[in-house]
Structure 1
């Protein structure tokens, strides 16, 4: 790279770091999923095994990442995510320089602006944030000249699969392109190296669960359950497309999305050196929308909740499509630097505005008081020991586990399925196991959110749980909240 390009690299890396600082620990917004992942990482370090000792339906890699973040200290998760963002930014910038893009900093900057868009992202440390990094690293490895690139692609495909399984679909078009690519290596050798890279991630993870006799739990809870339950359809095809449009518009992705889609499609008909790669990039771009068709999105009895964060991987695939367009075009309509200049403003202006708007309204987070209110104040005054608190159907209040360094008395910290599927717990066997754990541990307090309880889909489950609570616990009145959602165990 030239001296001018090095200056551009440092400026682009600086922009990436500044954007990451919007979600550093003092100002990273609280979110239920992140608190759950942090809890899982903490108990993993204490010897608990995912799925066997705590229930979830996410693939396992997120728990190990959070365990590593805890070992790194209070800023650990931010260090991990910021480092990954810097790595992708630097490699992407270098790739843009290698292909002599007119503005090599534009696409790396766009990637960071979309990645940190506060209307889509809810801070850091989400599975789809990490899978976005891995999708980009997969593509950057594919475009490299390394003799180990097939191994690296298999490696990042495995990281994607074990972080957020359906996002691996976005890589399928590139794998097909890889088999089509004319290089002096047999298809069998390519597949073998891809498999070796995949196994470099898969084997250690599977060995961990095998040693702890938990492979069955991994298969049932991280993968099979998502096929049997989580991808159940609640929308018509038209509703899905309306949801996609609503989120892309509301998330401020609409301009990059439409520019990438239009330029990508037209590049198939214009002069382009590598139309198969453009086609593969468009396939990955469209497949990154599959979470809208596969993820659970219900909140309450009949109200749909479209998850904005499901669309975060577009920050990778949009930039990949634009790269394949600009890097390989031979059409005068796209090669002239003066013609490309408007794209700088078109792609980035709106995202830059919302970034400044977000920065202007940052609020400092008090980690010691993530959970506030009369009930939290009451519990803060109690000498709680391990297993003394259980939170039922209120993920925000469940942050109390981390706030007070407590262990959940049941493996069922995660409880959303009761509010989504009426047949989730036939015969309320899971509820019976939770009740048994509360009795066995002599759990003193149960916080049962009234709104969450009302959203349970199965009336028989509601009745059974309420009967159990009224038999073994009584509702407390706390200062400032006469009729609180906190219940205390009955004295013998």
Structure 2
């Protein structure tokens, strides 16, 4: 009997891993072309592998852990980063299933599947590979660890908090809110114990934070890190909107993304659980205090997840990745409390109905399903991600591995060419869309002047320019056009509207091979 149970559990674990791969197949290199933010992360990882310094040679405002992940993943080719993310998500789903099993929750496997579906929710996941996908996992694991009976659980939770902070600083807020609720709702709140647990959290957080910061320091990039990776990115938030106005923007965004049915379901789940708790559980021994406590903690985490998005002033896509796993946890707790109604057998249909109800408005789910079906015939062909490089092989293959010989202007997505051909950009300023995103960015044009000087000094051989279809600020566009006409000849108008320029004949090419 024991052997049979172990085999069944192992089968379910394997099924969760397989499902985590399948559900993200539409976002894999097999079926998806280059992303946007993901390409910055992958490029940075490739550049680090070739000896570049984070923040000093690559400008971005994210903490460094995502770059270390992509640097490791770069060793496994175009599939490396996607597989790393899928392993992280699959292991989190297994941890959730184990937690549900240890705490005797009903419908454990269905709930773990729901976690995977919601974490990879079409239209919100951002095509995968986002920092918030990883923090969605680390925060969720923090919730599970703290509410478990593990020894040294506060130390482990601290490690997870440190990982979250080194991935996306502001995403620690929901986890801290959850922890605060867990402590404050204890029946036996004692200050000495609180101090001890806080100390363990702090010590645990140092485990990932200290080595990562030492790595940045050893690279001589610490001052650039402090300047660029601002705490909570507050320096990047330049808006005249009040916090109230930002909250309203976020709520409108929820409606636009089809999240309203899920939030309505959340309200019904919490309300019905508390009704059942008041009517029945107070008659039973022990009551439902732990479940009530968990629900309050989830509600706090959810509130701070929305505050995190509101402070950023963003209301779309991956800014809400952390919301959906919390909804699954609330559903799981509610289901356990009201299982007297024998509804656990309907978990899978309910999950699918909620999922479809939220996905139908955007039609993302059906497109994703369509892509998954097509994948069966795609395996024998060239992966879509790799095929996106085909138009450039004849030009860029001879420059493979040569630092500074390709610059992509005004199309972050095309950084995949630098990554694929192992060509470090001539300038750290690869994120030129910031001129559109952030009011007041580089008002005096100092950074843009430095960008041009960097390209000049490297005698960059090819420039792929998208400013004709995505122009920059008029004064800077004029400066850029002048630079191009004086130093480069047009080679080809690419199918996607980009123009490939080659350095003019007679210019002495400076090539630095790493």
Q: Is the 8 A contact 2:32 2:384 kept in 1?
A: no
- From 77, 93, 99, give the equivalent of 1:89: 93
Q: Is the 8 A contact 2:247 2:307 kept in 1?
A: no
Q: Is the 8 A contact 1:255 1:347 kept in 2?
A: no
Tell me the residue number matched to 1:19. 20
- Secondary structure at the counterpart of residue 172 of structure 2: helix
Tell me the residue number matched to 2:456. 439
- From 136, 141, 146, give the equivalent of 1:142: 146
Cα offset for 1:451? 4.8
Cα offset for 1:414? 1.7
| CA deviation string 1:231-272 (max 9, x = no partner) | 63666543331112112x1xxx55544323331245345414
Tell me the residue number matched to 1:111. 115
Tell me the residue number matched to 1:310. 319
- From 461, 465, 470, give the equivalent of 2:480: 465
Runs of 4+ in 1 over 6 A off after TM superposition: none
CA distance in 2, matches of 1:202, 1:383: 37
> Within 5 Å, which residues of 2 pair with 1:221-300?
221-223=228-230, 226-230=233-237, 232=239, 237-247=247-257, 249=258, 255-268=261-274, 270-271=276-277, 272-274=288-290, 275-295=292-312
Cα offset for 1:397? 2.4
Larger relative CO (CA 8 A, sep 6+): 1 or 2? 2
Tell me the residue number matched to 1:210. 217
Per the alignment, do residues 74 and 372 of structure 1 end up closer, same or farther by CA in structure 2, a change over 3 Å counting? closer
Tell me the residue number matched to 2:35. 31
Per the alignment, do residues 15 and 27 of structure 1 end up closer, same or farther by CA in structure 2, a change over 3 Å counting? farther
- From 336, 341, 348, give the equivalent of 2:345: 341
- Secondary structure at the counterpart of residue 486 of structure 1: strand
- Secondary structure at the counterpart of residue 502 of structure 2: strand
Tell me the residue number matched to 1:379. 395
CA distance in 1, matches of 2:354, 2:452: 51
Per the alignment, do residues 397 and 76 of structure 1 end up closer, same or farther by CA in structure 2, a change over 3 Å counting? closer
CA distance in 2, matches of 1:383, 1:277: 56
Tell me the residue number matched to 2:285. none
Per the alignment, do residues 403 and 17 of structure 1 end up closer, same or farther by CA in structure 2, a change over 3 Å counting? same
CA distance in 2, matches of 1:157, 1:88: 15
> How many residues of Structure 1 are paired with residues of Structure 2 in the alignment?
469
CA distance in 2, matches of 1:209, 1:484: 35
Per the alignment, do residues 55 and 225 of structure 1 end up closer, same or farther by CA in structure 2, a change over 3 Å counting? farther
Per the alignment, do residues 437 and 288 of structure 1 end up closer, same or farther by CA in structure 2, a change over 3 Å counting? same
Q: Is the 8 A contact 2:93 2:112 kept in 1?
A: yes
Q: Is the 8 A contact 2:169 2:231 kept in 1?
A: no
- Secondary structure at the counterpart of residue 396 of structure 1: helix
- From 99, 104, 111, give the equivalent of 2:103: 99
Tell me the residue number matched to 1:300. none
Cα offset for 1:350? 5.8
Question: 5+ residue gaps in structure 1?
Answer: 298-305
| CA deviation string 1:287-322 (max 9, x = no partner) | 22345424466xxxxxxxx53122222232112222
| CA deviation string 1:427-454 (max 9, x = no partner) | 2111111111111111122222135542
> Within 5 Å, which residues of 2 pair with 1:399-418?
399-418=416-435
- Secondary structure at the counterpart of residue 166 of structure 1: helix
CA distance in 1, matches of 2:427, 2:123: 34
Per the alignment, do residues 151 and 451 of structure 1 end up closer, same or farther by CA in structure 2, a change over 3 Å counting? farther
CA distance in 2, matches of 1:358, 1:471: 45
Per the alignment, do residues 288 and 296 of structure 1 end up closer, same or farther by CA in structure 2, a change over 3 Å counting? closer
Q: TM-score, normalised by structure 1?
A: 0.85
> Within 5 Å, which residues of 2 pair with 1:148-167?
148-167=152-171
Cα offset for 1:406? 0.9
Q: Is the 8 A contact 1:260 1:322 kept in 2?
A: yes
| CA deviation string 1:267-291 (max 9, x = no partner) | 3454142323311101112322345
Cα offset for 1:82? 2.6
Per the alignment, do residues 480 and 101 of structure 1 end up closer, same or farther by CA in structure 2, a change over 3 Å counting? closer
Per the alignment, do residues 432 and 439 of structure 1 end up closer, same or farther by CA in structure 2, a change over 3 Å counting? same
Q: Is the 8 A contact 1:231 1:293 kept in 2?
A: no
- Secondary structure at the counterpart of residue 213 of structure 1: coil
- Secondary structure at the counterpart of residue 27 of structure 1: coil
- Secondary structure at the counterpart of residue 122 of structure 2: coil
